[in-house]
Amino acid sequence: MKLFFSSNGLKSLSNSTFSRIGGVLFYSKKTKTPKPIRVKKESVYSRISLISDLNVSVVPILLQWIQEGNDIKKEDLNSVVKQLKVSKRFKHALEISEWMCNQRQFVLSPSDIAVQLNLISRIHGVEQAEKYFHNIPKQYQVFPVYLSLLNCYAHEISIEKAEALMNEMRELRFAKTSLCYNVMLNLYSSAGQYEKLDTLKEEMEEKGIPLNQHTYSILLSAYASISNMNEMEKILEKMEVDPEVHMDWNNYAMAANGYIKAGLITKALGMLKKTEELITERTSKSAYDLLLKLYADTGKKDELYRVWDQYKLSEKVSNATYQCMIGSLLKLDDITGSEKILKEWESGYSSYDFRLPNLLIDAYCKKGLLEKAEMLVNKAIEKGKKPFANTWEILATGYLKDNQIPKAVEALKSAYLARWPGWKPHRDTLSACLLYLKQQDDAEKTEEFVRLLGAPGHMSIDDCERLLDYIYMYNRQEESGVMNEVASDSMAFDDEQEDKIAKEAN
């Protein structure tokens, strides 16, 4: 049976499709991974990229492209699928994958089936991916497809299913490269089951499966996160002598973070020096940002300023960079230094970002320096800048802490007037303001405030509080679900693995 997944569910496909797969089940060394096509003005991808609504099918664009007499190659389609995945447009990527698998002129490979299986899991869930997998004839259930299903389980943090599939891969002798072990190591690390890392690493060593750069990075990060300095140092030493491993700034930054958590500041500084040595002009600005944060964590203010001076010379300094530096100085309780950096930013940047002054406003409020916080907000308003909703909320929280409740209510009103979709204040801040209004028994002010909340003006404060209890409980549940999704996203089946499985399939 030929298998693909459509919006209507699983469909059976003729055996001819999988007979077409058979011709390319085994890769030779000459097989080349398709290279991403350059996006041209009249490319297939340029047309598809214009469709932002995921509910609109992109298949008609492919059909129109062909009707216009344009040639369309399988490697082009694979490249478009990859680019759509990078853009998180998994539904459109699945549509193209399905369409490609239905075209008899394309000879399919196990990697094509593996990619489609992964997309099915993302769009329709892992159970539908399992159905797809189990309907593939046994002779076509090869390593790339197994690895894709393993990634699906890892994406869902389904440890028992992943372990069962890994055991099956061992029996089939598919578990003989680092790829599947890396998936399991990453899964255990993400799930906090660090005790299983050593066992899996020892198994790799016993079987002669080399630890590659990705394996080392997973282990290094895991041991650093739990302050297992002994194992972290062993991994670091192996990486430094392994000719197949390219040490980069991030490896040493991870080790530095581990030492900082363990309170070993001298060793952390040594790692940070090595991090600096590997940062080049072509390194992303995230390297400098992380370096600033880590130096702040060491408590070494002079080193922080030294790196900041170097950073400014790199011409990579942005609003986010200044935000990072201000935050780092505030971590060291250096209000004066933070004020100087903010003034430097204000004098050199036309694009005003309230997230930067928000850092100082928050610091002022926490220290009871409300006049300075007010001055900073008013100064920006005088220049025509509009504070964010959370700017006003920070002030409201500061007023509450200083027992200036009327001002807190007015600040929270301003927050609601400046709010953006999805924004809501902290529950405690809102509750304190509602309680104050209830005690004042001022019907006019109460109605005005209630309307800002989006509730009917006649609703009582008590009814508002009950409604808010429900809303905040619902939001907490939603946020929990979002966090689980974020955690599972870190286990995604990435393009780098897709490229590797084609070379390592047996």
pLDDT at 497 over 60: no
**Cα–Cα distance for residue pair 153/168, rounded to 1 Å:** 14
pLDDT value of position 395: 97
pLDDT at 30 over 60: no
pLDDT at 203 over 60: yes
pLDDT value of position 125: 94
**Cα–Cα distance for residue pair 365/374, rounded to 1 Å:** 9
pLDDT value of position 413: 92
Local structure of residue 294 (DSSP, 8 states): H
- Number of residues that make up the chain: 506
The better pLDDT of the pair 218, 285 is held by: 218
CB 298 within 8 A of CB 310: no
Structure token pair of residue 138: 């046994």
Q: What residue has token string 């394996």?
A: 215
pLDDT at 91 over 60: yes
66-87 tens-digit pLDDT: 888 888 888 989 999 999 999 8
pLDDT band at 209 (very low <50, low <70, confident <90, very high): very high
317-342 mean pLDDT: 94
pLDDT at 350 over 70: no
pLDDT band at 40 (very low <50, low <70, confident <90, very high): very low
pLDDT band at 352 (very low <50, low <70, confident <90, very high): confident
pLDDT value of position 469: 58
Q: Side-chain half-sphere of 246: how many Cα atoms within 13 Å?
A: 2
423-432 mean pLDDT: 85
pLDDT value of position 140: 76
pLDDT value of position 385: 92
47-63 mean pLDDT: 89
Strands 9-13 and 2-6: antiparallel
pLDDT value of position 465: 60
**Cα–Cα distance for residue pair 419/236, rounded to 1 Å:** 47
Residue 12, H or E segment: strand 9-13
Q: What is the pTM of this model?
A: 0.74
pLDDT value of position 489: 40
Helix residue ranges, H only, 242-383? 249-261, 265-277, 285-298, 301-313, 319-331, 335-348, 355-366, 370-382
172-195 mean pLDDT: 95
346-365 mean pLDDT: 90
pLDDT value of position 57: 92
CB 108 within 8 A of CB 17: yes
**Cα–Cα distance for residue pair 113/98, rounded to 1 Å:** 10
- E strand segments, 62-210: none
Give the range among 9-23, 107-121, 161-175, 280-294 with minimum mean pLDDT: 9-23
pLDDT value of position 491: 39
pLDDT band at 371 (very low <50, low <70, confident <90, very high): very high
Percent of residues, the chain, with pLDDT higher than 90? 57
pLDDT at 456 over 90: no
230-244 tens-digit pLDDT: 999 999 999 999 999
Give the range among 177-186, 298-307, 423-432, 478-487 with minimum mean pLDDT: 478-487
Give the range among 145-149, 307-311, 465-469 with minimum mean pLDDT: 465-469
pLDDT value of position 211: 94
Average pLDDT, the chain: 83
Give the range among 3-17, 87-101, 214-228, 396-410 with minimum mean pLDDT: 3-17
pLDDT band at 377 (very low <50, low <70, confident <90, very high): very high
Task: Give pairs for 367-375: CB < 8 Å, separation 24+.
Answer: 367/335, 368/398, 368/401, 368/402, 370/395, 370/398, 370/399, 370/402, 370/404, 373/398
pLDDT value of position 467: 53
206-231 mean pLDDT: 95
203-209 mean pLDDT: 95
pLDDT value of position 21: 41
